Amino acid sequence: MNIYKEIYKTIKSYDSIVLARHVGADPDAMASCLALKQIILNTFPKKNVYAVGVSTSKFKYMGNLDKVTDEIIENSLVIILDTPDKKRVDIDNFDNYKYSIKIDHHPFVEKFCDLEYYDENASSTCEIILDMVFNTKLVLDKRSGELLFQGVISDTNRLTTINTSYKTFDLIHKLIKDTNIDFTNLYEQLYLRPLAEVRLQGYIAQNLIVTENGLGYIKLTDKIIKDFKVDSSSSGNMINNFNYIDDVIVWAFISEDVKNDIIKIAIRSRGPVINEIASKYNGGGHERASGARVKSFDEADKLIQELDNLCKRFRSETNENK
């Protein structure tokens, strides 16, 4: 059976469904959860559907999250979105659900759900949901369309990333045509940000260390983060804005998170594959967009060294091929 039909059939057979996504949610994770909740309710109004996970004020505009009891968990189907491995699912008591489905666009890490669909070539999890909706009896409405649009746009950095395909454009075209969403307004929700973050971006631009091999990086201590009145995730929010700098092929922002006693690293690339290195430092992600978590700045230095070597190899290989 076609996988979308199989997922549809499974959704149809459960009265209670919980939707979850990865920790440290981003717009694709959040939007895929909240949109699929709306889509299931459009199609099956009598079902109980819950979107769970830690909520952050940053994504309030997307909608509210739900809490579930042990009783709900034991009687529900759970659908895990945008998450390749069990340890990164933002959920309690995963093992107590009746049945589980994974829908994801990350490189495969592990099988942990009963039914899994992942497509590494899809630009985003929201793109997969759109494709599934257009190929089953699931019902899209304007609100779910708005959310899916935001998820695709955010994960593709406005339709610029390598996984953006003709299919992405086709699906977005059909989405706008069918739902008549006001997409210009949706960009404002996604990209509106505090002045403090813009000032931090200026600081990063001024102080980015760029190696001769084309690695750009910056270390943001807790003091710097506090001086700018931002938080440890702020630098990650702006990392995509540092694309297309001709001296930089890989860039990493290293932020101290004293509350969680951890150092968060966001990494992006215009060429070299970075997720293999990220996965050695308690991280992972896509070939050109990854993250990692380390315990100290010394450990971060080791990661930086590996990324620099990677840039060196990449440059010499691309020069050899010219």
Binding site for ligand AMP (CB under 6 A): 22, 24, 26, 88, 106, 236, 266, 282-286, 289-293
Encoded tokens for 270? 């215009």
Name the strand (E) or helix (H) holding 236: helix 234-237
- Residue 22 or 102 with smaller CB distance to ligand AMP: 22
- Residue 37 or 106 with smaller CB distance to ligand AMP: 106
Considering the complex, what minimum distance in angstroms separates the CB of residue 66 from ligand AMP? 22
From the list 215, 185, 180, 221, the residue with the least C-alpha distance to 200 is 221
Tell me phi and psi for residue 174, to 5 degrees: -65, -40
Any bridge partners for residue 81, and if so which? 21, 103
Considering the complex, what minimum distance in angstroms separates the CB of residue 280 from ligand AMP? 11
Considering the complex, what minimum distance in angstroms separates the CB of residue 103 from ligand AMP? 14
Instruction: With H, G, I as helix, E, B as strand and everything else as coil, classify residue 170.
Output: helix
Considering the complex, what minimum distance in angstroms separates the CB of residue 262 from ligand AMP? 10
- Residue 24 or 271 with smaller CB distance to ligand AMP: 24
- Residue 135 or 260 with smaller CB distance to ligand AMP: 260
Considering the complex, what minimum distance in angstroms separates the CB of residue 240 from ligand AMP? 8
* CB 132, CB 119: distance < 8 Å: no
Query: Given CA atoms 106, 108, 114, 117 in this order, what sign does their dihedral have?
Result: positive
- Residue 6 or 116 with smaller CB distance to ligand AMP: 116
SS3 content of the chain, % helix, strand, coil (to 5): 45, 20, 35
